[in-house]
Amino acid sequence: MNHSKKSYVTLIEVMLAAAVVAILAAIIIPFFGKASQKGKYTQWNSQKNRFLSQPGLISYFDFMDKQGQILGNSAKGMGKEDYDAAIFDGRLRNGAKWQQGRWQMKGAVAFNGSSSYISATADLSEDAFSALMWFKTDSKQGGLFSTSESKALQSQSDRSIYLNQGRIVSYMNKKLLESKTQCNDGQWHLLAITIGPKFNKHKLYIDGELEIENELINFGSKLQKSYFIGFSKRVGYFRGAIDEALFFNREITPEEISEAYKNGQP
C-alpha cells in the first residue's frame, strides 16, 4: 500500500512539473520571439534610413499608419519643400484593410482580390525607375503595381507588375520579364524591379536574387503621373498582403537589393 501511494504522489509531481514547464514555455518562447523580431526590425529600420537618406526616392510607404484610409509617404522629407500630403500620400480604396505586417510592431495592407487597391500620385516621368515591394499571397494571379496617366483605373498604363500562375511578371512598354520562382506560397517575398539607361537593362529580382533581365528598348510614356498598388490593368486586383513599397526615379543597385532582403526578412 505504501509503495502504491508513493508512486501516486510521484505521478502527481511529474504532472505538476510538466504543467509548470508548459506555462513557462508559453511565456518565455513568445518573449524571445518578440525580442528576436525586435532585433531584426532594428536592422530593417537602419536599412530604411539608408534609403531615406539617398536621392531618387519618389515614394516610401512603410505602412506604419495601421489605421484610417490615408497611407503616409515617408519620402516626404526628401528635398520636397512643396510636398503636399493631399497629393503624394496614398489612399486605401474599395475595401483595402489594415492587418498584421511581417513585423509584430507594424502593419500591412490586405487586398481582397476583387475591388481593393491603393492609389497614389508621383512624378514617374524620369528616364529610370526602380521598385521594391514586400508581399505575400496564395493566389496565382493578381496585380501588384501599375502606373497610369490619371487616377482612373482604366487609364493608359506602360508599367505593370503582377502575378501570372504564381510567377512575378514585370511589364514595361509592351515588353515583359517573368520570374522562374513561384511566389504564391503564402510567405513574405521581396520583389525588385530596376529599369533605366545606366545599365540599359530591365531587371527582375526575387528575394534579393536576379531572376531575369533583358535589354531596355524603350522606357515608355512621359505621361505617367499616378500609380496603383494592388491592381494592374493587365490582370486586375491582387489578393493577399503588401507590407512596404518603395519607388525610385533611379536604378537601385544589386547590392542595395540584396541588403534590403537580408535586413528585411522577418
Q: pLDDT by residue (tens digit) across 199-255? A: 889 999 999 999 999 987 676 677 888 999 999 999 999 999 999 999 999 999 999
The yes-or-no verdict on residue 152 having pLDDT over 70 is: yes
**Mean of pLDDT values over 152-163:** 91
The yes-or-no verdict on residue 111 having pLDDT over 90 is: yes
pLDDT tens for 126-151 read 788 999 999 999 999 999 999 999 88
pLDDT tens for 77-103 read 544 555 566 678 999 999 999 999 998
What is the domain-level CATH number for residue 155?
2.60.120.200
**Mean of pLDDT values over 160-172:** 96
- Looking at the structure of the chain, the number of domains it has is 1
The answer to whether residue 50 is domain-embedded is no
Task: Look at 14-28, 32-46, 62-76, 149-163 and tell me which has the smallest mean pLDDT.
Answer: 14-28
Q: With a threshold of 0.85, does the pTM exceed it?
A: no
The answer to whether residue 19 is domain-embedded is no
The answer to whether residue 245 is domain-embedded is yes
The answer to whether residue 108 is domain-embedded is yes
The answer to whether residue 13 is domain-embedded is no
- Only one residue has cell 526602380, namely 130
Range of the domain at 147: 56-264
The answer to whether residue 64 is domain-embedded is yes
The answer to whether residue 43 is domain-embedded is no
Q: What is the pLDDT of residue 20?
A: 62
Averaged confidence pLDDT in the chain: 85
The answer to whether residue 89 is domain-embedded is yes
